[in-house]
């Protein structure tokens, strides 16, 4: 199979893979008058006058990302990476994977330092070994900057990069390069350039889940379309039929006369009946609002159920909710996050292995994610107080919602106890001095 056929096959395979990105970035303001839906493998557009679009999908995706990454993960820091830098990278990777089913991190060398950017999945064709497990090569293709009629095709292997320039049906140019160039400078002048290859294929995939699907798969797409179709239809109907329709009997169908009648009705609030058989009647259009509201509620419930998310309205509508109930509300989101975390840990381990190989280090590839969950603060504090006689102070502080740094709080408590002890000692000392002075005065008076 030649390069052109390989690219064509890859494009056909990915034709509808990035539909989730359109749902996530859907902007009713820029697409006013149209609502899109997806069925039978194609995207369809419906014309409407008024529109009401609720982007539940964006909420579900952001909810998952914030649940896993809102709190900084725990990693083994070094002078190469920091928690902030890793958090930003993981957040961008997870967003791309959630929308496109997979994200691709591209590692490159700049000024003899390893850096990275994300490359869209539409540009990548991975070549796996016979076990379909390890990546042996990566083909990246994209429109050449400055001349979009030419497609640049890069084939990355452990031995270097083969670059082909494809125009129409033929390859017009071929180049062979190394992964990067090691430049040596002396007193600001370049004295040597040496082409080098990385000891790894510089592309790392992050899959959204074990099934390698986006967050739009699994039945939620149809629910989102149905919900927005009904809500938009309701708003559109109300806008069209918000005024009563006038039924005229015995009048001519002449458009000029109709305009005159409408003008007189507005001005005089009266209608001249043309003959004894003429009549005027006002018709009111009944819109089945309650039935649509019920359907919308059912759809919303199923969107969060199938999408494995947390409906914020359910928590907002309950007062004094216990932490046990809150955890049960998070159960679906928790299951979805479990699958995603496994992929994130694999992705991070491969990333750290690349750093270790390039810099000849031994950074620990372990990572711990601190999930962000709302909770009943009063209940937690009450449990901490009740545990004072059962647990040590440090354990209680670790679970107290107001404590962010246990060591600092422990130091403050220790300093406060020492200060109180010193005050008590000074008070006792002062009392003893006073009593001693009083006894001395009594003896003097007796003499």
Model pLDDT, residue 99: 95
For residue 268, is pLDDT > 70? Answer: no
For residue 352, is pLDDT > 80? Answer: yes
Average pLDDT (54-81) is 90
For residue 186, is pLDDT > 70? Answer: yes
Q: What are phi and psi of 309, to 5 degrees?
A: -120, -175
Residue 239 within a domain: no
Q: Which tokens sit at 313? A: 């309205």
Residue 101 within a domain: no
Nearest CA to 124 among 143, 144, 142? 142
The number of distinct structural domains making up the chain is 1
Residue 387 within a domain: yes
Model pLDDT, residue 329: 82
Residue 445 within a domain: yes
Model pLDDT, residue 100: 95
Residue 384 within a domain: yes
Average pLDDT (402-410) is 82
Residue 280 within a domain: no
Kindly provide the residue ranges of all beta strands, DSSP E only, lying in 111-227, ordered along the sequence.
113-119, 124-128, 135-144, 147-157, 160-167, 170-177, 180-186, 189-196, 203-207
Q: What is the pTM of this model?
A: 0.74
Structural domain containing residue 435:
376-447
Q: State the DSSP H helix or E strand holding residue 106, giving kind and residue range, or none if neither.
A: strand 102-110
Residue 386 within a domain: yes
Model pLDDT, residue 199: 94
Q: State the DSSP H helix or E strand holding residue 293, giving kind and residue range, or none if neither.
A: helix 289-306
Tell me what percent of the chain is helix, strand and coil, each rounded to the nearest 5: 45, 25, 30
Tell me the percentage of the chain whose pLDDT exceeds 70: 78
Average pLDDT (143-161) is 92
For residue 318, is pLDDT > 70? Answer: no
pLDDT one-digit tens code per residue, 86-100: 999 999 999 999 999
Query: Per-residue confidence at 407, pLDDT binned at 50, 70, 90?
Result: confident
Model pLDDT, residue 81: 83
Q: What are phi and psi of 375, to 5 degrees?
A: -155, 165
Q: What are phi and psi of 415, to 5 degrees?
A: -65, -40
Residue 33 within a domain: no
Q: If you count them, how many residues does the chain have?
A: 447
């Amino acid at each position: 199979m030649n390069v052109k056929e390989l690219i064509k096959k890859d494009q056909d395979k990915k034709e509808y893979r990035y539909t989730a990105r359109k749902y996530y970035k859907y902007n009713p303001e820029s697409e006013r008058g149209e609502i899109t839906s997806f069925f039978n493998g194609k995207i369809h557009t419906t014309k409407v006058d008024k529109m009401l679009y609720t982007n539940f999908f964006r909420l579900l995706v952001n909810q998952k990302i914030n649940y896993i990454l809102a709190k900084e993960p725990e990693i083994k820091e070094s002078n190469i990476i920091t928690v902030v830098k890793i958090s930003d990278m993981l957040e961008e990777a997870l967003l791309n994977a959630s929308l496109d089913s997979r994200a691709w991190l591209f590692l490159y060398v700049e000024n003899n330092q390893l850096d990275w950017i994300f490359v869209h999945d539409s540009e990548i064709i991975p070549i796996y070994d016979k076990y379909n497990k390890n990546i042996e090569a990566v083909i990246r293709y994209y429109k050449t900057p400055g001349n979009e009629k030419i497609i640049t095709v890069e084939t990355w292997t452990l031995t270097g990069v083969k670059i082909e320039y494809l125009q129409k049906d033929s390859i017009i140019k071929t180049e062979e390069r190394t992964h990067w160039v090691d430049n040596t400078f002396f007193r600001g002048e370049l004295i040597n350039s040496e082409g080098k290859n990385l000891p790894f294929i510089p592309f790392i995939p992050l899959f959204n889940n074990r099934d390698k699907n986006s967050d739009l798969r699994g039945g939620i797409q149809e629910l989102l379309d149905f919900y927005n179709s009904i809500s938009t239809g309701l708003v559109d109907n109300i806008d069209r039929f918000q005024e009563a329709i006038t039924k005229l009997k015995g009048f001519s169908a002449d458009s000029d006369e109709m305009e005159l009648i409408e003008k007189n009705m507005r001005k005089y609030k009266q209608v001249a009946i043309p003959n004894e058989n003429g009549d005027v009647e006002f018709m009111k259009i009944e819109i089945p609002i309650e039935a649509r509201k019920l359907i919308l509620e059912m759809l919303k419930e199923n969107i969060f159920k199938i999408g494995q998310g947390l409906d914020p309205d359910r928590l907002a509508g309950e007062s004094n909710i216990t932490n046990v109930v809150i955890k049960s509300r998070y159960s679906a989101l928790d299951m979805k996050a479990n699958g995603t975390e496994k992929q994130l840990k694999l992705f991070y381990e491969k990333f750290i292995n690349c750093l270790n190989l390039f810099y000849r280090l031994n950074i620990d590839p372990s990572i711990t994610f601190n999930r962000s969950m709302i909770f009943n603060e009063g209940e937690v504090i009450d449990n901490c107080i009740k545990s004072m006689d059962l647990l040590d102070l440090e354990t209680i502080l670790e679970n107290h919602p107001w404590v962010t740094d246990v060591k600092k709080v422990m130091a403050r408590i220790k300093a406060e106890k020492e200060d109180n002890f010193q005050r008590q000692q000074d008070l006792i000392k002062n009392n003893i001095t006073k009593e001693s002075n009083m006894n001395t005065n009594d003896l003097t008076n007796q003499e």
